[in-house]
């Protein structure tokens, strides 16, 4: 039979074990950093290099959620991530103006390209981005759009607007609602065109049957920033982990990794490091 004293001891032990378990759980959570980022950083393979290096150096463990920039920022607005790595400048500026982020730092850039079948039915090769889109619309050739409010989709919509074309609802304009890699596959399957970041295309080009047809237009610049979240709005955000990752992305060693990434395989880097540069130097 349990005495009152034994019951008290058992209750104390159970409570202690519970508190220890909660403490261990909280500690594990504090060492996890939730990174909301774009599919391009994941599909290109860049994060497969950077994340392990960050984890080894910092002791944090990264949980990567790869979505479009728009979705990543929606997560940030809800406090569902600790740090963002995105490439949709106009949306980022609004995100910061609305008070969801505390710091937004320039990390790197590459460029967008328009790819399509070698036969190039719309005859866009060598054209400017605006002219290329006009020719695609006039020819009625399939254009696969991500249609997912990502940074790539935002860039694409801006290009259509600059070209004076409203593609929504047109039979040849097909929105996939998918990431970059999957959208490239759709364009390849339908022998159509799409806008893609260069890094993802080069990483996946084997077997696609799509060629770079439009590149080098200044309007196709693709710029990435790392954003820390506002803990006043979201106190449970892992601010320490988010800051550690943001600091890591702009550190000299990491910038060197970014600058070398892709050189061995493709003969040229897939991204160009920009930490410390003035935004105006990139036309921002």
Which DSSP string do the residues of 48-87 spell out, in sequence order? HHHHHHHHHHH--EEEEEEE-HHHHHHHHHTT--SEEEE-
Per-residue pLDDT, 281: 64
In whole angstroms, give the CA distance from residue 175 to residue 70: 16
In whole angstroms, give the CA distance from residue 211 to residue 115: 5
Categorize the per-residue pLDDT at 284 as very low, low, confident or very high, splitting at 50, 70 and 90: low
Question: What are the pLDDT digits (tens) for 151-168?
Answer: 899 999 999 999 999 999
In whole angstroms, give the CA distance from residue 235 to residue 228: 13
Instruction: Please state the pTM of the whole predicted model.
Output: 0.80
Question: What are the pLDDT digits (tens) for 243-254?
Answer: 999 999 999 999
The dihedral sign for the CA sequence 21, 65, 94, 31 = positive
Is 36 in a helix, a strand, or coil? strand
Domains recognised in the chain with CATH numbers: 11-109+223-275 (3.40.190.10), 111-220 (3.40.190.10)
Question: What are the pLDDT digits (tens) for 80-92?
Answer: 999 999 999 989 9
Per-residue pLDDT, 192: 97
Question: What are the pLDDT digits (tens) for 213-250?
Answer: 999 998 999 999 999 999 999 999 999 999 999 999 99
Average pLDDT over residues 111-132: 97
Neighbours of 39 (CB within 10 A): 26
């Amino acid at each position: 039979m349990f005495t009152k004293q034994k019951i008290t001891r058992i209750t104390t032990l159970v409570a202690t074990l519970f508190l220890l378990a909660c403490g261990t759980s909280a500690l594990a959570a504090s060492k996890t950093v939730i990174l909301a980022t774009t599919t391009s950083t994941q599909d290109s393979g860049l994060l497969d290099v950077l994340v392990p290096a960050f984890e080894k150096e910092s002791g944090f463990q990264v949980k990567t959620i790869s979505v479009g920039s728009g979705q990543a920022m929606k997560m940030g607005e809800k406090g569902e991530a600790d740090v963002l790595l995105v490439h949709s400048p106009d949306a980022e500026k609004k995100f910061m103006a609305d008070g969801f982020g505390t710091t937004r730092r320039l990390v790197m850039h590459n460029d967008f390209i328009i790819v399509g079948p070698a036969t190039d039915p719309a005859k866009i090769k060598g054209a400017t981005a605006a002219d290329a889109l006009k020719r695609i619309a006039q020819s009625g050739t399939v254009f696969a759009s991500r249609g997912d409010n990502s940074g790539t989709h935002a860039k694409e919509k801006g290009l259509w607007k600059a070209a004076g074309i409203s593609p929504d609802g047109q039979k040849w304009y097909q929105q996939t609602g998918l990431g970059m890699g999957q959208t490239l596959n759709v364009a390849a399957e339908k022998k159509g065109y799409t806008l893609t970041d260069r890094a993802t295309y080069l990483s996946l080009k084997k077997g696609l049957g799509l060629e770079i047809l439009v590149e080098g237009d200044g309007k196709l610049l693709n710029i990435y920033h790392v954003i820390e979240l506002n803990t006043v709005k979201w106190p449970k955000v892992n601010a320490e982990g988010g800051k550690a990752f943001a600091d890591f992305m702009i550190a000299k060693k990491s910038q060197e990794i970014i600058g070398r990434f892709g050189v061995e395989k493709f003969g040229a880097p897939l991204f160009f490091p920009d930490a410390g540069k003035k935004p105006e130097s990139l036309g921002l």
